[in-house]
Amino acid sequence: MSNEWMHRIKLFVQRFWQPTSACMTCMPGSWGNFASVAHWAIAFKTGLLTGLLAVLLTFTPAAKLYGNRYGNAALVGLLTMIGDTYAHTSHYRLPYVEHVLTGIVSGLLALIAAYLLEDRARRIRAAWARVFG
């Protein structure tokens, strides 16, 4: 498999877990309904749609945004909003508030992951070494 397709698979996996986690966090009653199959189905649908949109963008000039930490987070947030809007209707009183909130949380997760996991998780390994010697 070519290196380009390996990159797309890795990108899909990353763009799947961030929106899924954000969706589970932002849905009303998320932590109370953590074991709910319906809740997880909505979150997986959001993650799947976002991951597919992210892979489709690799075929366009917008793929350059994935190289920048902040551009990547903004793109992930935007794609998550689109995926979440398509996956289900808002559970909040105001329309689209849940989708925007989910996109923001997903973008923040992408930014945190980029910061912590860059350079083979150098920051995590350094913190581990400081704590446990």
Separation CA 99–CA 124 (nearest Å): 31
Indicate the SS3 state at residue 104: helix
Across the chain, where does the E strand assignment appear? none
Choose the weakest-confidence range: 26-30, 42-46, 62-66, 100-104: 26-30
Model confidence pLDDT, tens digit, residues 72-118? 999 999 999 999 999 888 888 888 898 999 899 999 989 998 888 88
Contacts of 127 (CB under 8 A, 6+ apart): none
Model-wide pTM > 0.85: no
% of the chain exceeding 90 in pLDDT? 47
Q: Confirm if 100 and 81 have CB atoms less than 8 A apart.
A: yes
Query: What is the maximum alpha-carbon separation in the chain?
Result: 50
% of the chain exceeding 70 in pLDDT? 95
55 C-beta neighbours (distance < 10 Å), count: 17
Dig out the tokens for 81 from the structure.
């909003």
Provide the mean pLDDT of the chain.
Answer: 88
Position 30 scores a pLDDT of 62
Indicate the SS3 state at residue 92: coil
For residue 22, give the nearest of 115, 118, 98 by alpha carbon: 98
User: How does residue 60 score in pLDDT terms, banded at 50, 70 and 90?
Assistant: very high
Q: Is the pLDDT of residue 28 over 80?
A: no
Separation CA 131–CA 29 (nearest Å): 35
Position 2 scores a pLDDT of 86
Question: What are the Cα distances from residue 131, in Å, to 105, 124, 126, 128?
Answer: 28, 11, 9, 5
